[in-house]
Amino acid sequence: VETKILDLFRKHKDDYLSGEEISRRLKVTRAAIWKHIEKLRQTGYDIEAQPHLGYRLKAIPDKMIPDEIQNNLETKIFGKTIYSYESTNSTNDIAYDLAEKGAKEGVIVIAEEQKKGKGRLGRSWASPKGGIYLSVIIRPDIMPAEIQEFTLVAALSVAKAISQTAKLVVQIKWPNDILLNEKKVCGILAEMKAESDKIDFVILGIGVNANIDSSRLPNTATSLNEVAGSDVARIELARSIITNLEKYYFMFKKEGFDGRIRNSIKDLSCTLGKHVKIQSHSHSYEGEATDIDEKGALLVRHETGLRYRILSGDVTFIG
């Protein structure tokens, strides 16, 4: 019923709707309507009540409410089910559990904040309120070694979403970062459950520093509102992230990585052409980053002419 009430408010933007009218349209009693309005208020909706006039929606809360994200969400499967949390340890952990229990492709978990946000290799991800913490379940038919491609597909999707909604110019730093003004504004963590040659599922975890004061972030980080000068619309951004994720995931399934996706990633890359140092497992490599290959690996040419193909690692720019 709450979703239906919200739909009515949306259709009659800025108008008052009498309790009688809502009750007639939704075929529930006025007392019940009042209760649902109270519930919406508790969620954070600012609903004004005027004697003789009725109810009016003054403002929606700045919260990642599934109903708001799903409103006008034009996807086939991504985001049709969204689990949202005010606070949780890690959205990736919740999505992993759901996937193990059989949750379908496209199911999404979001949180306002994370207590134990995870980066790669046991590192932590600062996750204060104001950011976007989102994990999506996918079940691609690929080999475990191909997971790197999905990290890049997710990075491409988020980069497009940020430029489309916040109108900011961002770049992809191989393998899993999005940079804004040369500082990290988003990180991607892809986790999977796989047998030797088959993937059961992949969790794509995305953390975006949307509206966060930089004092709450590491020195190497920035946030969208810091650069934009005002808060960005988080719901719109989340909706765009989900839409782009589905778009590029479907494109991946149809055309593979090596084609439009790879080209777009290369276009947005700030890694290519740079002199880089890469720490990968126990090895360290240095040289010029020359290409991202058809499997998402980074190709590096050392000054001696030696060439490396690197699947994952931490990149630092030199000089």
Residues of the shown chain interacting with ligand BT5 in the complex, contacts defined by CB under 6 A: 90-92, 114, 117-121, 123, 125-126, 133, 135, 176, 184, 187-189, 205-207, 209, 217-218, 220-221
Q: Are 300 and 289 in contact (CB under 8 A)?
A: yes
Rounded least distance, CB 119 to ligand BT5, Å: 3
Distance CA 115, CA 53 (A): 44
User: Residue written as tokens 């988080």?
Assistant: 234
Name residue 85's beta-bridge partners.
111
* 40/206 with CB nearer ligand BT5: 206
* 97/258 with CB nearer ligand BT5: 97
* 118/160 with CB nearer ligand BT5: 118
* 60/110 with CB nearer ligand BT5: 110
* 205/296 with CB nearer ligand BT5: 205
Rounded least distance, CB 208 to ligand BT5, Å: 8
Name residue 301's beta-bridge partners.
288, 307
* 126/251 with CB nearer ligand BT5: 126
Distance CA 148, CA 45 (A): 40
Sequence-distant (6+) residues with CB within 8 A of 64 are: 84, 110, 111, 112, 132, 234, 235, 238
Rounded least distance, CB 94 to ligand BT5, Å: 9
CA distances from 267 to 160, 176, 201, 264, 273 (A): 12, 15, 29, 5, 12
Q: Are 53 and 18 in contact (CB under 8 A)?
A: yes
Q: Taking CB positions, which residue lies at the least distance from ligand BT5?
A: 187
Cα 151 to the chain's mean position, in Å? 12
Distance CA 227, CA 6 (A): 33
From its phi and psi, is residue 257 left (phi > 0), alpha (psi between -120 and 50) or beta? Answer: alpha
Rounded least distance, CB 88 to ligand BT5, Å: 9
